[in-house]
Amino acid sequence: MIKENLQQIRATLKPNIELVAVSKFHPAEAIQEAYEAGQRVFGESHVQELVEKEKVLPKDIEWHFIGHLQTNKVKYMAPFVSLIHSMDSLKLMKEIDKQGQKCGRVIDVLLQIHVAKEETKFGFTPEEVVEMLQEGEWKNYAHVRIVGLMAMATNTDDEEQIAQEFDVAHQLFDTLKADFFADKPEFKELSMGMSGDYLIAQEHGSTMVRVGSMIFGERIYQ
Ligand SMILES: *Cc1c(COP(=O)(O)O)cnc(C)c1O
């Protein structure tokens, strides 16, 4: 099933859109199955779960971290994580820098932007991210590389609202690119879209979709 699901999703994705298979709460066997179907990029949202899976699964997997990240947990994944989607504070950036330095790596991150109507989502508001970038301290963190933005739309059936929120993120991406990253070709990713809204996201500027349940089925939360 996993193989067929992946094929089905890939068939609907525009070329050049990266598919991150969100494997949180699914066992290593399910990831292995997706791996055997050619998938190499996986997203996890809990540090301990990520670390345990990384140990037992093939070494050429690219692990993305997509969940809310506490500063005291960065050290566990710093040696191997390939992209952190959920960089949502300068304090966290400072810690990622410190841990990157310790293991001799430059860690790629996305700035998580809050565009949804929901209160509970983490991330910088558009105003906050501009302020943070203007202030300039981030430039001192040589072991962190900002490669784009991540955003989540409101969990709603209102497709117009979802599209509008993705447009806000897309416009912000263009503005930040011009104002702060014009000379940084690596600033090119816009991570938007999940199982329920990736088709909308890819029409509104997404370069990277994070799809879980459409690949692996429903998650069972303990
Ligand atoms: C769980 C999760 C996803 C995947 O959600 P699905 O609806 O299962 O596709 C994507 N992004 C983030 C940040 C998540 O936490």
Determine the distance separating the centroid of ligand 1 and the alpha carbon of 214, expressed in angstroms. Answer: 10
Task: Find the angle CA(114)-CA(115)-CA(120) to the nearest 5 degrees.
Answer: 55
Residue 118 is predicted with a pLDDT of 79
Quick one: which of 130, 160, 153, 156 has its CA closest to 206? Answer: 153
Residue 219 is predicted with a pLDDT of 85
Task: Find the angle CA(140)-CA(46)-CA(164) to the nearest 5 degrees.
Answer: 75
Residue 212 is predicted with a pLDDT of 98
User: Which residue's CA is the nearest one to ligand 1's atom 11?
Assistant: 210
pLDDT in tens, 161-213: 999 999 999 999 999 999 999 999 999 999 999 999 999 999 999 999 999 99
Quick one: which of 129, 177, 132 has its CA closest to 151? Answer: 129
Q: What are the φ/ψ torsions at residue 146 (nearest 5 degrees)?
A: -85, 115
> Rounded CA gap, 35 and 190, in Å?
24
Q: Ligand 1: does its nearest atom lie under 6 Å from the Cβ of 110? A: no
Determine the distance separating the centroid of ligand 1 and the alpha carbon of 105, expressed in angstroms. Answer: 27
Do 148 and 87 contact (CB within 8 A), yes or no? no
Burial-class residue 140 by CB neighbours within 10 Å (0-12, 13-18, 19+): exposed
Is the dihedral angle over the CA atoms 163, 116, 81, 38 positive or is it negative? negative
CB atoms within 10 A of CB 171: 13
> Rounded CA gap, 84 and 146, in Å?
10
> Rounded CA gap, 85 and 66, in Å?
5
Strands 144-152 and 208-211, bridge-based pairing: unpaired
Out of 13, 45, 197, mutate this one to test ligand 1's pocket (max ligand atoms within 8 Å of CB): namely 45
pTM: 0.97
Which residues are paired to 194 by β-bridges? none
> Rounded CA gap, 182 and 218, in Å?
41
Q: Ligand 1: does its nearest atom lie under 6 Å from the Cβ of 84? A: no
Determine the distance separating the centroid of ligand 1 and the alpha carbon of 212, expressed in angstroms. Answer: 6
Out of 66, 84, 216, mutate this one to test ligand 1's pocket (max ligand atoms within 8 Å of CB): namely 66
Domains parsed from the chain with CATH numbers: 2-215 (3.20.20.10)
Quick one: which of 20, 50, 16, 54 has its CA closest to 215? Answer: 20
Determine the distance separating the centroid of ligand 1 and the alpha carbon of 77, expressed in angstroms. Answer: 19
> Rounded CA gap, 212 and 219, in Å?
9
Structure tokens that stand for 159 in this block: 């497709």
| Residue ranges in the chain whose pLDDT is less than 70 | 120-121, 222
Q: Ligand 1: does its nearest atom lie under 6 Å from the Cβ of 66? A: yes
Query: Residue 173: enclosing H or E segment and its boundaries?
Result: helix 159-180
